[in-house]
Amino acid sequence: MRKISHQFICKKNKPRIDILRPRVQARMLGHLTSDRVRAIQIDVMFDGKEREVVFGSVYLPYDSTDLPSSKEMVSLVNYGSHNNYPVIIGCDTNSHNLCWGSTGNNNRGDALLEYLATTDLNISNKGNKPTFVLTGRQEVIDITIATSNIDLYLCKWRVSDDDSLFDHKYIEFRITAELQPIPPWRNPRSTRWDEYCGP
Q: 3-class secondary structure for 163-180?
A: CCCCCECEEEEEECCCCC
Q: What is the pLDDT of residue 98?
A: 93
Lowest mean pLDDT among 13-27, 68-82, 171-185: 13-27
Q: Are 60 and 35 in contact (CB under 8 A)?
A: no
Whether this prediction's pTM lies above 0.75 is answered by yes
The whole-angstrom distance between residue 135's C-alpha and the CA centroid of its chain comes to 26
- Distance, in Å, from the CA atom of 76 to the CA atom of 48, rounded to the nearest integer, reads 26
The verdict on whether omega for the bond into residue 69 sits within 30 degrees of 0, i.e. cis, is yes
Ranked by mean pLDDT, the top range of 24-38, 118-132, 177-191 is: 118-132
CATH of the domain at 126: 3.60.10.10
Could you give the number of structural domains in the chain? 1
* pLDDT tens sequence across 60-102: 988 888 777 789 999 999 999 999 999 999 999 999 999 999 9
Q: Are 118 and 84 in contact (CB under 8 A)?
A: no
Strand 49-59 with 87-92, pairing? parallel
Domain that holds residue 143: 2-197
- Distance, in Å, from the CA atom of 189 to the CA atom of 51, rounded to the nearest integer, reads 43
Burial of 5 (0-12, 13-18, 19+ CB in 10 A): middle
Q: Which of 76, 79, 115, 111 is nearest to 96 (CA)?
A: 111
Question: Per DSSP, what are the bridge partners of residue 58?
Answer: 37, 91
Question: Per DSSP, what are the bridge partners of residue 59?
Answer: 92
Q: Is 5 helix (H, G, I), strand (E, B) or coil?
A: strand
Considering only residues 77 and 198, tell me which one the structure prediction assigns the higher pLDDT: 77
